[in-house]
Amino acid sequence: MTDTTTRRSRDDSDEFETIAEMEAESRPGPEGQPHGDDSLIGRFDRWHLNRFSAWDAVKAVALTTFLLLIFAGGSVRKAADELKPGLGRDIVKAIGGPAGWVSDNLPFSDTRRDLTSWLSPDQQLSGQSFRAGPGGAGTPAAQVPTTPQPLHRLLVTGDSLSTPLDIELARKLADQGAAVQVTRDPHLATGISNSGLVDWSQLSSTQAANDDPDAAVLFIGANEGYPMPDASGAQVSCCSPQWEAIFRSRVGQMMDNYLRGGVERIYWLTVPTQRDPARKPIADAVNQAVEEAAADRGAAVRVVDLRPTFTPGDTYRDSIDINGKQTIVRESDGIHLNEDGSSVAADLVLAAMNKDFDY
């Protein structure tokens, strides 16, 4: 315990005369000295807290783990589903499966949920989930105004690709003095082909209803390629024409949800080529599906194609020429745009929006 009366105090006026004195300051001082012994390595000994055994530690942690498994085993199972394939996921899955089963068959999990659900920061989603299988050609082209309309509210959303694009758009509009409310709503680690974390059909309906945007900017596609069910329920793997048709249908459902919810224009950004060649078939299928779904919906959906700017010739590059200077525009993962890249993408979006909106 601290006892300031027993320590030799240094006030602000003290100066070290010698290096030895300075170094002495860093060595352990009298017991209870809070700063002289700035490591306080012996504090647990001094406070007599080393009073239990290793077996106590193991038992206590085992009890914690056991209680968590029976109260929240389903969370372990869900976490496994969200992990990338690999040994780590297999291990979590091997534990999460039985833990989830136990948790499902005991009343504790429901009790926990009832007691703590009010603490969740997640928004409640409404609307329909994705329909299974490929849909039709989409809704007829919506009537859109031919003259620029006022822009009051802008939604910027998507997966991790959409940030920091969202921040760049918000800053650029703010710098222009535009009276626009920008709602930034990135949902990291989510995908249209994987509804494990969030169902983008429900989310798009909810965003349209709650945020009431005049325009929506979507940048999503870093986390796609998951198998999706066809109309019969059979899983279709990426990136066959059938997978692309299902993906197109899902993208179309999202577009329709926004448009039916009152969004006048959608600006959907394509995924620029990524460094890893294995990702190219996925990005190609995603971009193709977006372009086709947008074409079905006429001028209400504009595709902002980033590929000619960031990866001309379909060739990945870290940097591009910006104002005569080679500038790195990608993150080190070779997938995401960095701040400079997002700034360029934001300029492209604003250029497209300028044709449709006054702000």
Partner 1 sequence: MRRGRRAGKEQHGERERCREPCEDASAVHPGQFSSIARPARAAGGERRRQVLFPTVEFAIFFPIVLALSWALMPSQPLWKPFIVVASYVFYAAADPRFCLLLAAITLVSQLAVVGIHRTEDERLRKWITAGGVVFDLGILAVFKYYGFFVTDVSDVLDSVGLGMPLPLATIALPVGVSFFSFQAVTYVVDVKRRQAEPASLLDAAIYLSFFPHLVAGPIVRASEFLPQLKTPRDPHRVAVGAGLTLIALGLVKKVMIADYLARELVDPVFAVPQAYSAPDAVLAAYGYAAQIYCDFSGYTDIAIGLALLMGFVFPQNFNSPYRATGFRDFWRRWHMTLSRFLRDYLYIPLGGNRKGKVRTYINLMLTMTLGGLWHGAAWNFVAWGAYQGTGLSAEHALKGRLGRIFPGWLRWFVTFNLIVFGWILFRSQDLSLVGDYVSALTRSGPATLYSVPVVGAILLVIGLQLLPERPTEGIELRLGRLQPLVLGAALALVVLVVGATVPSQGVPPFIYFRF
Q: Which parts of 334-353 interact with partner 1 (CB under 8 A)?
A: 334-336, 338-339
88 binds partner 1 (CB under 8 A): yes
Cβ 20 to partner 1 shortest distance, Å = 10
Number of chain residues interacting with partner 1 (CB under 8 A): 112
327 binds partner 1 (CB under 8 A): yes
63 binds partner 1 (CB under 8 A): yes
Closer of 149 and 242 to partner 1 (Cβ):
149
Residues 6+ apart with CB under 8 A from 72: 103, 109, 112
* Angle between the N-to-C axes of helices 108-116 and 54-82, in degrees from 0 to 180, rounded to the nearest 10: 80
217 binds partner 1 (CB under 8 A): no
Cβ 76 to partner 1 shortest distance, Å = 5
* Angle between the N-to-C axes of helices 200-211 and 241-260, in degrees from 0 to 180, rounded to the nearest 10: 20
Q: Which stretch binds partner 1 (CB under 8 A): 126-134, 204-212, 293-301, 345-353?
A: 204-212
Q: What residues numbered 90-109 form the site for partner 1, per CB under 8 A? A: 91-92, 95-96
Assigned token pair, 163: 């940030």
State the Cα–Cα distance between residues 156 and 163, nearest whole angstrom.
9
At residue 297, φ and ψ (nearest 5 deg) are -110, 15
Q: Residues 177-196: x/- map of binding to partner 1 (CB under 8 A)? A: xxxxxxxxxxxxxx------
149 binds partner 1 (CB under 8 A): no
Assigned token pair, 77: 């199972």
| Burial of 162: CB neighbours in 10 Å, binned 0-12, 13-18, 19+ | buried
Residues 6+ apart with CB under 8 A from 152: 179, 180, 181, 214
Among 6, 9, 24, 61, binds partner 1 (CB under 8 A): 61
Q: Which stretch binds partner 1 (CB under 8 A): 126-134, 249-257, 265-273, 318-326?
A: 318-326
